[in-house]
Amino acid sequence: MQPEVPHIRIAGREVGPEAPLFVIAEIGLNHGGSLHRALALVDAAAGAGVDAIKLQAIEATQLVSPDCPAPLHVRARSLAQFFQTFELDREAYAQIIARARALDLAVLATPLSLDMVAMLQDLDIDGFKIASGDITWSQLIAVCADTEKPLVISTGMSDLKEVSRAVSTAQAAGARDVAVLHCVSAYPVPQGSENLRAIATLASECDVPVGLSDHSIDTFSVPIAVALGASLYERHIVLHGEEGDDAIDRAVSSTPAELAQVVRDARRTRSALGSGRKVCLDAEAGNRLASRRSIFAARHLAAGTRVSPKDFVMLRPATGLAPSQMASLVGRRLSRHIAAGQPVTEDSFAVESYARLVPRAV
């Protein structure tokens, strides 16, 4: 049984366990520092049918020290120079946001410095995202939360205590709409290291909508994540063809066609999961009569006969009394004759016997 968690809203869209999966196309660094490519990625995201794009607002000198070592998936002598390649100016962000707005996409952004929070707020983005590496930076979380915009917190490399502290920090600073994303900060995530059950753990412990920031080589995890309670899904997007092949995060990215399939798979998975209530569904109700058995006369039974188990046979369809009622019929007297192969019904028995039958049948 999945825990009940509150729903939130991002750019007017409902996000929660009962809502459609909120799919975020992460542009990230895949624009390569090119505004033209960034705009093309926005167009591609809209064509894929996602709900939102996400940007990374980078200021290299406010992100890494001169001697910061490179993470495992990056080959660079100088991380400062590496990240400078992906810097965009305020006007570029404004154009990207405007393009997304024109295509009815929500805009989320990860500020990688405090100064970027103010710029992004001034550009009126729809929500902030805290990068996994900044989950312990309480000041950044609080500054983003103080804007009262929705806040999504990625949880790669963290434990439950750190996640809970980040959520509490955000809520205490004024964030009303908070969500967390399970994330494994490996690029790509080795098969067997996805740890998708953490999605259910986060939902239970944090009492906010949860999702998956997916760094796997493919989108295999999507239906599993939805089944475990994911309300959001984030995946890097690349352009199809040569422009996408040289993207910095190609190994953990999907093409627009692949993201479109994510949207379809998520919709089908959510539909297939259903309500969880065990009832006879409309789709199967038409087969109930023909597929279930009822009590039939095994031979000709005359009126006044006191019936015994040998007088009955259990056959389809379910036009007579249910087999579960047979024990309560034994020893009762028939009020009319029943031909062999005919169903035994409630009016087959004398009144005094039927009066005894009803309480047992309820």
pLDDT of residue 248: 84
Task: Examine residue 3 and state whether it is found in any structural domain, yes or no.
Answer: no
Task: Examine residue 1 and state whether it is found in any structural domain, yes or no.
Answer: no
Same domain, 266 and 299: no
Q: Report the domain count for the chain.
A: 2
Same domain, 255 and 312: no
* SS3 assignment, position 104: coil
Domain that holds residue 265: 8-273
Same domain, 291 and 172: no
Same domain, 300 and 230: no
Which residue has 């005894």 as its token pair? 356
Same domain, 113 and 241: yes
Predicted confidence pLDDT, tens digits, the chain (362 residues): 455 678 999 999 999 998 999 999 999 999 999 999 999 999 999 999 999 999 999 999 999 888 777 665 676 667 778 888 999 999 999 999 999 999 999 999 999 999 999 999 999 999 999 999 999 999 999 999 999 999 999 999 999 999 999 999 999 999 999 999 999 999 999 999 999 999 999 999 999 999 999 999 999 999 999 999 999 999 999 998 877 788 888 999 999 999 999 999 999 999 999 989 999 999 999 999 999 999 999 999 999 999 999 999 999 999 999 999 999 999 999 999 999 999 999 999 997 644 454 444 43
For residue 320, what are its two tokens?
């007579």
CA dist list (Å): 211 to 3, 138, 224: 14, 21, 11
What is the secondary structure of 1-29 as a DSSP string? -PPP---EEETTEEESTTSPPEEEEEEET
Task: Examine residue 308 and state whether it is found in any structural domain, yes or no.
Answer: yes
Cα distance between residue 16 and residue 31, in whole Å: 30
Residue type, 6: P
For residue 180, what are its two tokens?
């967390």
| Residue of 274, 265, 273 lying closest to 223 (CA atoms) | 265
For residue 181, what are its two tokens?
């994303």
Same domain, 101 and 175: yes
Cα distance between residue 187 and residue 164, in whole Å: 25
